[in-house]
Chain A
Amino acid sequence: MTTANSASKIVVSGFRHFFDTEDGPVQATGEIDLTIRAGEFVTLVGPSGCGKTTLLKAIAGFIRPTEGTIYCDGKPVSGPARERGVVFQELAILPWRTVRRNIGHGLEIAGIPKAEREQKVARLIDLIGLRGFEHRYPHELSGGMRQRVAVARTWAADPDVILMDEPFAAVDAMTRLTLQEELGRLCAATRKTVFFITHSVEEAVFLGDRVLVMTRRPGIIKARIEVPRRSLGGRDWETFTADPEMQNIAEQVLRLVRAERGAAEAEEKREAGAAASS
């Protein structure tokens, strides 16, 4: 049972999801309860296949949960909507629109007048450091730049909560560090509610106010760890790696995650062995 109060943006209760396959229903997640409060940056870490993407899709409204309920601002989630913006791992920005028009797309849909739109878009373009590239098309940009546009687009639409599904996974390591710092700064500047799932423990601890650890498939949340926010301007990697408290927390989370990965691998070996000998 999770206590929902007026500050809760997202309340997930008794969520469990099954997929229909040819061989019958397959369990994607175990029973999950979680709350995301307004202004929080919640990160979720877990091994592959544990169901974290399924959970995100359900919160976003792309899939209807087999069991359980999901509420956003007290209203049940029934489909995708502006209130729950999503940034995907693969690019979903439109190749036939310029950077400017992509970022402003959500505002366009909301019917915001052009002048106001341009203003907001310009501000965001400055925030993500793409001034000078407003009129370029995505195929003219690097991977990191494109992902910035994707993030900015969702940000511009001013959703109640932003769901991010490993948005930096496909970007090279160097750019990823920069993007993470930028995201931190962006969140600090705009006080958004974010739900961010990832493979990387470091990323989860770096970005999050609260880190959730998920077990292997079918996953449930086995640990919730608070991360004290240090500076108001968002974290940077240098300070983070030098901070013993941060590193402690990171190690703690890593241990929890590793235990899951190890158990998952052991189970796979057992299954393979059973299959081979049968």
Chain B
Amino acid sequence: MSTASARPHAGSPSGLRPGLLVASRWLGNVKILIPFAALVVIWSAIQAVGHFPERVLVSPSRVWDTMLLLFSHGILVEYIRTSIAMIFVATAISLAIGVPLGFLVGSNRYAARALETFLRYLQGISGIAWLPLVVIWFGFTHLTTLAIVIYTLAVPIIFNTMTGVRAVPELYALGLRSLGAGRLRVIRDVYLPGALPSIMVGLRLGMGYGWRALIAAEMLVRQGGLGDLIFGARTSGQIDRIIGGMIVIGALYIIIDRLLVQPLENLTIARWGLLRK
């Protein structure tokens, strides 16, 4: 399917047509910011009228100034880098562990029967609950944080891979066997691409949970990262840092999700016409 792209309309006077197209797309993006702008206005108003002490609420401009300061000193960048690095490493490892495991449970009746209940049991215990134990084992280190985030990420990946594999019609595999394909071929050409949409969904979900678990773990392990930033700011009553940190946390997640994961999802799935959008 070809997507329409803004091409210069032949013979248009001084490119007026394409200008309008670009303008309307920018307008669409700007529209998204309106509710946030409204929120900031309301926030300013509340802060101005309410006369709250500084340790409770500060103005948006104050938050902006503080964050800018942190940014210019490279501190904010460092915190962001730590968290981002962590989520991506954890994602990579979770995929490496979760997809094969999910595959196994999805394709083999015995593996499913043996492992599914156990996995569901683990699903009920959040990563944070294990944190104290993991801290005893690995100390207050990045390894601890990593372990917790991998644990959190792996669960939806495993389960979604499982359902993805199960959803692939057996007929596809039979068809390929009748073309002379062996087991490995069938996995590579049928089950892996067939399960991919589901795996992508699991990945998106996992990254959502994983990001939140990361922040929580960073709050406790205190070895850097945005969770450390906002939790540390609490003890010193720096509301500006807390609010600023929260905004950064939200914004980063949206950026990663919308600009990275979702396009990846769309690229693979929609192109194959598999997503029932």
Contacts and interface: CB of A to CB of B under 8 A. Distances in A.
Instruction: Decide if A and B are genuine partners.
Output: yes
A84 B179 CA distance: 8
A81 B190 CA distance: 17
Contacts of A105: 176, 179, 189
A109 B185 contact: yes
Contacts, number: 70
B116 to A, nearest CB: 24
A93 interface: yes
B243 to A, nearest CB: 45
Interface in B236-277: 271-274
B175 interface: yes
A59 to B, nearest CB: 11
Given A96-B193, A137-B271, A137-B273, A81 B180 contact: yes
A94 B189 contact: yes
A157 to B, nearest CB: 5
A269 B185 CA distance: 49
Contacts of A137: 271-273
B1 A88 contact: no
Interface residues of B, number: 22
B192 to A, nearest CB: 10
Contacts of B272: 95-96, 137, 139
B175 A93 contact: yes
B175 A92 contact: yes
Given A95-B273, A96-B193, A139-B272, A82 B172 contact: no
B171 A88 contact: yes
B39 interface: no
B178 A140 contact: no
A173 interface: no
Interface string A111-154: 00000000000000000000000000111100000000000011
Given A137-B273, A140-B1, A90 B171 contact: yes
A278 B189 CA distance: 54
Contacts of A80: 174, 177-178
Q: Which of A91, A92, A157 has the most CB of B within 10 A?
A: A92
B266 to A, nearest CB: 14
Interface in B157-178: 169, 171-172, 174-178
A80 B273 CA distance: 29
A82 B1 contact: no
A246 B27 CA distance: 70
Contacts of B178: 60, 80-82, 84-86, 154, 159
Nearest to A111: B180
Nearest to A83: B180
Nearest to B185: A109
Nearest to B186: A109
A79 B211 CA distance: 48
Nearest to A81: B180
Nearest to A95: B272
Contacts of A106: 179-180
B75 interface: no
A106 B175 CA distance: 10
Contacts of B271: 137
A237 interface: no
Contacts of B181: 109
Contacts of B273: 95, 137-140
A62 interface: yes
B175 A157 contact: no
Contacts of B196: 96
Given A86-B175, A137-B272, A139-B272, A94 B180 contact: no
A92 B193 contact: no
Contacts of A1: none
Contacts of A157: 179-180
Nearest to B173: A92
Nearest to B190: A94
Nearest to B273: A139
Nearest to B179: A106
A60 B1 CA distance: 36
Interface of A: 60, 62, 79-82, 84-86, 88, 90-96, 105-106, 109-110, 137-140, 153-154, 157, 159
5 contacts: A79-B177, A85-B178, A91-B171, A139-B274, A157-B179
A-B CB proximity, top 8 nearest: A82-B180, A92-B175, A139-B273, A80-B177, A106-B179, A86-B178, A96-B272, A96-B193
Interface of B: 1, 169, 171-172, 174-181, 185, 189-190, 193-194, 196, 271-274
Given A86-B174, A86-B175, A105-B179, 5 more contacts: A60-B178, A84-B178, A96-B272, A139-B273, A157-B179
